[in-house]
């Protein structure tokens, strides 16, 4: 707990995503002291009260056994941070959650892109491509986001994201029912929607039931179909979806970078780890650029490192 400048203290980082929230406590040498996990905390896809409660829950778990008063710096990396920063009522909920966990240091809010890039690279400059429930690419300079490509949310964009994959899987299944051309993906989608393959149920009726099931759930629930695409990637419809996602995500990363840029590219999000989409995306980027491409695994670690940089500068030890 005695940092490189001979001082005692801790830092905390939070990665508040659409499906889960992770909090991490480090000492000033980068050693992990505690971690906590809770439900999603994006105030765009969850009621703000619930999102803030999940942040407090994750922080409380991470701070178990640690004196919160000794936390000198904290960073909250969030998908949907624009709502938090622009809506005083939402900001107040998250400030209350922060203080409710016992923290006295200010709550510094950054985008999930900044936290993700800091997780995968110590470079102050580069590009981050986030492919999870949503999708966005961002240009990072001096550890701060300066421009983005995509990231419009499920209603307006998020191409190549888990939401997009899930929606495309449902659309492909509807088309398969129309043409009577089922494959492993369409069968899996119908099973996931609770629509059994019964000989006496006409295809048109199964088509109707799938539309009803998809429209009857919250829009974000379409993301739950995404794992079926990668699990059945050899199915013709799934292969087409994966191919389109890889191309779209690589285009998104390129759109966020100056021409001939050689600074690092950091990949973050559940789809980056989903085989074969993640491996195909890395190969696609390798054909387009000679820049180093790394994969970040924990946005909370990047947020905590940014909190340490606030105290120690760029010499802050990386999380161990």
**Neighbouring residues of 198: CB distance < 8 A, sequence distance ≥ 6:** none
The Cα angle at residue 80 between residues 75 and 86, in degrees rounded to 5: 85
CA pair distance 312, 28, nearest whole angstrom? 8
The residue extents of the domains of the chain are 10-124+297-315
- The CATH class of the 10-124+297-315 domain is alpha beta
Mean pLDDT across the chain: 92
CA pair distance 319, 42, nearest whole angstrom? 25
pLDDT digits (tens, 9 = 90+) for 271-286: 999 999 999 999 999 9
The pair of structure tokens assigned to 85 is 């920063």
Radius of gyration of the chain (CA): 21
What's the confidence (pLDDT) of residue 83?
66
Class of residue 123 by CB neighbours under 10 A (exposed 0-12, middle 13-18, buried 19+): middle
Where do the H-state alpha helices sit in 195-235? 203-216, 226-231
What's the confidence (pLDDT) of residue 1?
45
The pLDDT-based confidence of 298 (bands split at 50, 70, 90) is confident
Quick one: which H or E segment has residue 109?
A: strand 107-111
pTM of the model: 0.81
Answer yes or no: is pLDDT of 2 > 60.
no
Backbone angles phi, psi at 318, to 5 degrees: -70, 150
| Listed residue (123, 126, 192, 165) closest to 269, CA to CA | 165
Answer yes or no: is pLDDT of 134 > 70.
yes
CA distances from 120 to 100, 228, 282, 307, 318 (A): 30, 27, 14, 15, 10
Query: What does the pLDDT average to over 7-24?
Result: 88
Answer yes or no: is pLDDT of 265 > 50.
yes
pLDDT digits (tens, 9 = 90+) for 57-104: 999 999 999 999 999 999 999 876 766 677 899 999 999 999 999 999
| Listed residue (258, 211, 218, 282) closest to 19, CA to CA | 218
């Amino acid at each position: 707990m005695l940092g490189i400048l001979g001082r005692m203290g801790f830092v905390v980082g939070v990665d508040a995503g659409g499906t889960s929230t992770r909090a991490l406590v480090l000492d000033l040498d980068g050693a992990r002291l505690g971690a906590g996990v809770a439900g999603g905390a994006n105030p765009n896809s969850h009621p703000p009260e619930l999102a803030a409660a999940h942040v407090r829950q994750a922080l409380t778990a991470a701070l178990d056994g640690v004196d919160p008063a000794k936390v000198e710096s904290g960073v909250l990396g969030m998908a949907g941070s624009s709502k938090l920063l622009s809506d005083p009522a939402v900001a107040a909920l998250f400030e209350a959650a922060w203080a409710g966990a016992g923290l006295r240091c200010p709550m510094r809010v950054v985008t999930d892109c900044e936290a993700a890039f800091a997780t995968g690279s110590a470079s102050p400059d580069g590009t981050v491509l986030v492919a999870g429930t949503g999708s966005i690419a961002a240009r990072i300079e001096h550890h701060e986001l300066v421009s983005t490509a995509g990231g419009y949310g499920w209603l307006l964009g998020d191409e190549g994201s888990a939401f997009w994959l899930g929606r495309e899987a449902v659309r492909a299944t509807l088309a398969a029912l129309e043409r009577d051309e089922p494959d492993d993906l369409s069968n899996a989608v119908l099973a996931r929607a609770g629509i059994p393959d019964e000989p006496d149920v006409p295809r048109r009726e199964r088509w109707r039931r799938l539309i009803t099931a998809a429209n009857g759930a919250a829009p974000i629930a379409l993301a739950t179909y995404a794992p079926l695409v990668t699990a059945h990637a050899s199915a013709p419809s799934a292969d087409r979806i994966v191919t389109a996602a890889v191309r779209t995500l690589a285009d998104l990363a390129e759109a966020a970078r100056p021409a001939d840029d050689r600074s690092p590219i950091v990949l973050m999000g559940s789809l980056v780890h989903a085989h074969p989409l993640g491996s195909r995306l890395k190969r696609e980027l390798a054909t387009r650029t000679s820049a180093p491409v790394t994969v970040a695994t924990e946005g909370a670690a990047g947020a905590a490192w940014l909190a340490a940089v606030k105290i120690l500068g760029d010499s802050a030890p990386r999380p161990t």
